[in-house]
A and B are shown apart, each in its own frame.
Chain A
């Protein structure tokens, strides 16, 4: 089963380029396109994609607002923020609202496919610099509940960038159980994404940066 992708970007040239390029990889399938945040939410509801590539600066509804809505309504859909260099400060907002990661639009194209696959597998992939900055910029959870020992194990592995499958293999549990643990972790910490959970792990010293 290929990873099902929704493209949300107001620039049709960028959208068409992405569609073309992603079509080369048989593991990826672009199932829909939208040209603003509002359309993006509608399409996501209808198509239930695995991953949404979300531009941030868009008319009608911007990407950050759309991410906020989508994470609440469809928590299983992972979102990668796509930004041009100028919207650098918006990246923080995207991660704060629950994007699993972000890609600059000048990122090498093969990186793009890798990042989409990682997101679909629940892997948090942040460069050390990005992680350091995000830890600084994104505030700690207000009143985190205590995690169980198992949940702490899952959080530690998630924070070093392991996929659901890898965590399952390492802890000798099912992949579905890993997902359940992750949902519980997010609920207990009051967070909306795996990336936020990973940043929390860095902040409390569960893993080193």
Chain B
């Protein structure tokens, strides 16, 4: 049924209708486009959040890995391996700052790592500047005609490392800072030009801050361990020396006594010499007890029960105690 407005011209209606329909279609299309754009933006955002979350969780996992290792040498390799999960590289090296020299400690990706190679910082003004600034230094294109790229190329050539660096087209160095002081540097290269973006540099820097602390901890741990071992060795050496000299002193006095008695009362001398011999046995047992402490070999070769038995015998001899061992 068609209702007609008596005030309108009947011929106008179909025209108006089609115009409206057109308008509606146009609006719908615009809306769809806007929706699509919105979805796109949402997806992009989601992707970025996902990516960022992934980066952060990788960083967290990686940091947990490196901060639980206290042995220096495995730690250095671990740092470079874990770094690759955070920021990709073709070649990576870790150097420590010792005085005014950089010492190459570990490298990944190169054919001929020249470990423990020492280089004066004065030959690396770029690295020096980077360490002083405490910020990453990036060369987006190693083959570009810039001062920095030229210097790095020059250094590579001077060290005859062209083969190692072949295929590396971008470069980034990161300072290792512990307790607010530069302690070393990480150097990364990548095949892609412009690979090291500010975002990647930031990630690498976050990683490096923890790596530096882990390295410092490992160094302190090693020092403390060396010191404790040394002190323990010295203590045992002192005890061993004391034990030996005390026993020899006692035995010497006994032998001297026997020597004198041999002239005065030869009959008594033999008895006394037996006694001196028992002193020698006691002295020997005591030394064994200390050597046992120094190097518990019987623990490894004969097991705990036998080792404890020996220890009990030695302690009994030393302190003239009757000690019994019950081992199940």
Give A contacts to B, CB under 8 Å.
9, 11-18, 20-21, 23-24, 57, 84-86, 105-106, 109
Contact = CB atoms under 8 A, between A and B. Distances in A.
A103 B238 CA distance: 19
Contacts of B283: 13
Interface string B271-300: 010011001001100100000000000000
B249 A86 contact: no
A11 B256 contact: no
A105 B257 contact: no
B245 A15 contact: no
Contact of B246 (A21, A24, A84): A84
B272 A20 contact: yes
23 contacts: A9-B246, A11-B247, A12-B318, A12-B319, A13-B250, A13-B279, A15-B250, A16-B275, A17-B252, A17-B254, A20-B253, A20-B272, A21-B253, A24-B257, A57-B242, A84-B245, A84-B249, A85-B245, A86-B241, A86-B242, A105-B245, A105-B249, A109-B253
Contact of B250 (A17, A57, A85, A86): A17
B103 to A, nearest CB: 40
Interface of A is mostly: helix
A21 B254 contact: yes
Question: Ordered nearest first, which 5 A-B pairs have the shortest CB separation?
Answer: A17-B250, A17-B253, A13-B250, A11-B246, A21-B253
A80 to B, nearest CB: 15
A16 B278 CA distance: 11
B255 to A, nearest CB: 9
Contacts of A16: 250, 254, 275, 279
Nearest to B286: A13
A13 B257 contact: no
